Chain A
Amino acid sequence: MIRLQNVCFNYDRDRTLTDISFHINKGEFAAIIGANGAGKSTLCRLLNGLLKPSSGSVEINGLDTGHTKSSVLARQIGFLFQNPDRQICRNTVAEEILFGLELLYKDREFIAERLEKVLSMFGFSAEDNPFNLSRGERQRLALASLIAVEPEILILDEPTTGLDYKECIEIMEIVREMNKKGTTVIMVCHDMEVVLDYAERVLVLSGGKLIADGETRSVFCMNDVLEQASLIPPQMASLAGRLGSGFEDVFTVEEMTELILEKSNEKRRVEV
């Protein structure tokens, strides 16, 4: 589905990305993590052809992005930026969603059907002015107009930065739902709790190099990798790490609670 082979990229002189290769299958939910300036956004832009690799190749569904325009790739890839205001350019919610649909589809009935579906899915009222919505709502609108065209791949560059907890969960739940329906999701995120909750796979970037790529939980156990990328693992994972043996596979509050209760019950049973 998405295949990167020995991709290098530089903006001016210095290397921004060095020799990146990976392969993401249909339906995967992957997170790209790393410190600011590690090259995460650059990598995302390479994926939808906004940037072309200096060397190596990026393939989306067999299409080489080097020879395909981003506006053509848009049919397959929905790209959500951190700032929704750069995307929203119409005066009502309905028009904004239609704008994206009309760019990619011609069939009127089909367009109307999609619009209705998305409006009810997100609970928007069609005639609202986007710029009177809150920041989180605008982000949801931007996401809605991407999802309206039902892309096979969703790329999210820090979709939840600057949102409050509730807004963040609202966005992520929609993304999860799309993922369950088969959409491939690639997300840049600074919130390790969110990454742990939603992503199945994690790619760690540090200084433009891919230093780890694997199942989320196993990557969060690689302390040297996290340290090198200046990342702090989810708090429960750190706590479990400090507690040492017996707590290896604990990552969430629920798991920790369960394990502690289990252990204390065991202890009580031994005492009795």
Chain B
Amino acid sequence: MRSFFDYIPGNSFLHRLNPLSRIFLSFMISIACFSSKSHLFLLLMILLNLVLAALAGILNRGMELLKNLSKFSVFIFVLQVLFVRRGEVLLEMPFNIIITEDGISTAIIIVLRLIGATMPLALMLSITQMNDLSNILVVKLKIPYKYAFAFTTALRFIPIFASEMSAIIEAQVSRGVQLDTKNIFKKTRLILPLCLPLLITSMKKIEGSAISAEIRGFYLRTGESCYRKYFINWNDVGVLLFAVILFISAVFSNNIKL
């Protein structure tokens, strides 16, 4: 099973950027999404994400990500619409449930924000190798290697756990647990007892990983141990500027009424 974090190799403009610029750009897109209250701006940001994905040659992954985030967003949208009770009432339903204009408007913003802010991070991880990521965290951002390693290892384990979970689900379905039901509530109730095998295999994997790092001299490693060097060139400067401009326009987008 492939996950959204797996590295997709390539030689595009974005692949060749300094990892730090990529991290900066993706964080700035996320922050810009959180700073803006404009529907249009947020839509443009999502579009920008797709354009960047296309530039990196991973448009497929981008579309897939968008599809999955949209599914998830439906929940958030419904919750948000039901909980906001301010503004002009559009629809009144039994049990004192009301749907207001404000509710719909904020729900849309929250959903667009969620999509616009999650996509760049996932896309960045798709074109950045974990090694580069941890090296950058250590060398440039001066984060102690221990923590950088823990962080990137945790990320690396997500797809492993995901595929382990799907293997466990397969095994349980095969013995008659109705996890292949369409009913989400039933499925959730059935999945909970399966967390035991997942926990046990996870602990084993993590322990194995920690031991193998330890016996290879993990504790000897410092910031200077990094073998690869990362350079900043004009492309990076361009991208950094672009990221800053994005953020500024996010702030301004709040003042423009459409």
Q: Which A residues have a C-beta under 8 Å from some C-beta of B?
A: 45, 48, 50, 69-71, 74-75, 77-79, 81, 83, 85-91, 100, 103-104, 131, 145-146, 149
A86-B168, A89-B193, A89-B194 are contacts. A74–B201 as well, Cβ < 8 Å?
no
Residues of B162-189 contacting chain A, CB below 8 A: 164, 167-168, 170-181
Given contacts A71-B181, A89-B172, A91-B196, 12 further A-B contacts (CB under 8 A): A45-B170, A74-B175, A75-B176, A79-B171, A79-B174, A85-B197, A86-B171, A87-B171, A89-B197, A90-B196, A103-B176, A104-B176
**Which of B173, B181, B200 interacts with A50 by CB under 8 Å?**
B173
Report whether A71 and B178 are in contact in the complex, using a CB–CB cutoff of 8 Å: yes
Q: Which B residues have a C-beta under 8 Å from some C-beta of A?
A: 164, 167-168, 170-181, 193-194, 196-197, 200-201
Chain B facing A: main interface SS: helix
Report whether A81 and B171 are in contact in the complex, using a CB–CB cutoff of 8 Å: yes
Please, could you name 24 A-B residue pairs with CB atoms under 8 Å apart, sorted by A? A45-B170, A48-B174, A50-B170, A50-B174, A69-B180, A70-B173, A71-B173, A71-B179, A71-B181, A74-B174, A74-B175, A77-B174, A78-B174, A81-B174, A85-B201, A86-B167, A86-B171, A86-B197, A87-B171, A89-B172, A103-B176, A103-B177, A104-B176, A145-B175
**Which of A45, A90, A100 interacts with B176 by CB under 8 Å?**
A100
A97 to B193, CA, bound (A): 15
Interface centre among A48, A78, A83, by most B CB within 10 Å? A83
A74 to B174, CA, bound (A): 6
A87 neighbours in B (Cβ, 8 Å): 171-172, 175, 197
Residue on A nearest B173 in the bound complex, by CB: A70
Report whether A146 and B170 are in contact in the complex, using a CB–CB cutoff of 8 Å: no
A89 to B167, CA, bound (A): 13
B168 neighbours in A (Cβ, 8 Å): 86
A77 neighbours in B (Cβ, 8 Å): 174
Residue on B nearest A45 in the bound complex, by CB: B170
Residue on B nearest A102 in the bound complex, by CB: B176
A74 neighbours in B (Cβ, 8 Å): 173-176
The 10 A-B residue pairs with the shortest CB-CB distance, nearest first, are A74-B176, A79-B174, A103-B176, A86-B171, A71-B178, A87-B171, A86-B168, A70-B173, A69-B180, A100-B175
B172 neighbours in A (Cβ, 8 Å): 87, 89
A50-B173, A70-B174 are contacts. A85–B200 as well, Cβ < 8 Å?
yes
A86 to B174, CA, bound (A): 11
A90 to B196, CA, bound (A): 8
Shortest CB–CB separation between residue A86 and chain B, in angstroms?
Answer: 4
Shortest CB–CB separation between residue A5 and chain B, in angstroms?
Answer: 23
B200 neighbours in A (Cβ, 8 Å): 85, 131
A104 neighbours in B (Cβ, 8 Å): 176
B171 neighbours in A (Cβ, 8 Å): 79, 81, 86-87
Shortest CB–CB separation between residue B243 and chain A, in angstroms?
Answer: 34
A69 neighbours in B (Cβ, 8 Å): 178, 180-181
A45 neighbours in B (Cβ, 8 Å): 170
A48-B174, A87-B172, A89-B193 are contacts. A70–B167 as well, Cβ < 8 Å?
no
Shortest CB–CB separation between residue A83 and chain B, in angstroms?
Answer: 8
A146 to B176, CA, bound (A): 10
Interface centre among B167, B176, B181, B193, by most A CB within 10 Å? B176
A103-B175, A145-B175 are contacts. A70–B180 as well, Cβ < 8 Å?
yes
B194 neighbours in A (Cβ, 8 Å): 89
B179 neighbours in A (Cβ, 8 Å): 71
Shortest CB–CB separation between residue B192 and chain A, in angstroms?
Answer: 10
A100 neighbours in B (Cβ, 8 Å): 175-176
Report whether B173 and A146 are in contact in the complex, using a CB–CB cutoff of 8 Å: no
Shortest CB–CB separation between residue B177 and chain A, in angstroms?
Answer: 6
Shortest CB–CB separation between residue B161 and chain A, in angstroms?
Answer: 13
A70 to B181, CA, bound (A): 10
Shortest CB–CB separation between residue B134 and chain A, in angstroms?
Answer: 30
Residue on A nearest B169 in the bound complex, by CB: A86
Report whether A71 and B197 are in contact in the complex, using a CB–CB cutoff of 8 Å: no
A104 to B174, CA, bound (A): 12
**Which of B173, B178, B181, B196 interacts with A89 by CB under 8 Å?**
B196
A78 neighbours in B (Cβ, 8 Å): 174-175
Report whether B180 and A79 are in contact in the complex, using a CB–CB cutoff of 8 Å: no
A107 to B178, CA, bound (A): 19
Residue on A nearest B180 in the bound complex, by CB: A69
